[in-house]
Amino acid sequence: MNIATVGVVGLGNMGRGMAATLARKGFSVLGFDIDADKRAVVEASGVTFVPSLTEVLRRADALVFSLPYAKDVEAVVTAEGGLLSRSDRKVVVIDTSTSDPGTTRRLAERLAAAGHALLDAPVSGGPSGAAEGTLTMMIGGAEADYALARPVLEAMSARAPHVGPSGAGNIVKLVNNLLVAAHLVTTGEALRLSQAAGLSAEEAVQVVNTATGRSAVSEVMVPRWVVSNTFDSGFSAGLMRKDVRLALELAAECGIGLPLSEEVGRIWREETSIPDTADFTRMADYRTKEAL
């Protein structure tokens, strides 16, 4: 089935960039956000802002969700007069939100019963990757639905592998973000150690990034947002706390203990100097925290 019109629900830091990318690559894009003040910004990038969620859900050939929480995704999927009552064509929902696998599977079943499909497609790459169409996406869902949505996925990403059935994309994303959360803590601590011992963090991280201790945190996040003291990656500490919580809840559901990850979760929960609204890279700020 041809996909000409894509609806993007959620026009925040990520959704706005994805919508603009899709418009630039030839799709007719309908955008919706509860904040109508975003209209001028998105329309300047070729996106048609539609003030009615129901209209977007009923007009689009495919949908991209960029929402903060699973409850928001569920509210959109089950919106009265929306997808569940639509029968003119099959619509594939590409949910780029980071959610829990159980909610994803349950919503995928409801959409399938109505003749539609849900792909869990969490992303990595930040607002710049969304705006440039260079995201990494992790896709869970049926092979046939993945194939149907492929033109949209390829427009938004540099890499979008199909990793397994419904929920698999969210599992990979939670594993990834649990590692990032830990790396931010350990990198910040290691750089504070370097400074305390007499070598600047900036000099230390340059060497670490040529050695085996490097990570995306040390190679990208620390130089770009921590050393520069800008802390404007576009991803909040509150969202990272949510992802760490979801990962640890998944571990509990699976009946496994993750003692180091549980300590990372405690640090993220209890670090009151970093409010939910702050940028998540502040966790690696080696200048301010003596100990966590």
Q: pLDDT per residue over 45-86, tens digit each?
A: 999 999 999 999 999 999 999 999 999 999 999 999 999 999
User: Which pLDDT score is estimated for 292?
Assistant: 47
Q: If you write DSSP's letter for every residue of 82-95 in order, what string do you get?
A: SGGG--SS--EEEE
Which residue carries 């640090």 as its tokens?
Answer: 267
Judge if pTM exceeds 0.85.
yes
Tokens encoding 84: 């569940």
Residue range 102-110: mean pLDDT, rounded: 96
Yes or no: say if 237 and 279 are a contact pair by the CB < 8 Å rule. yes
Class of 5-164 in CATH:
alpha beta
Question: Domain segments of the chain: what residues?
Answer: 5-164, 170-284
| Sequence-ordered list of residues with C-beta below 8 angstroms from that of 290, at least 6 positions apart, any chain | 192
User: Which pLDDT score is estimated for 289?
Assistant: 61
Tell me the three state secondary structure of residue 149: helix
Determine the distance from the C-alpha atom of residue 194 to the mean position of all C-alpha atoms in its chain, rounded to a whole number: 32
Active site residues: 173
Q: In the CATH scheme, what architecture does the domain 170-284 have?
A: Orthogonal Bundle (1.10)
- Please, what's the largest Cα pairwise distance for the chain? 68
Round to whole Å and give the CA distance between 154 and 63.
14
User: Which pLDDT score is estimated for 291?
Assistant: 46
Could you tell me what percent of the chain has a pLDDT over 70? 99
**pLDDT over threshold 60, residue 290:** no
Strand order of the sheet with strand 28-32? 48-49, 28-32, 5-9, 62-65, 92-95, 117-120, 139-140, 162-164
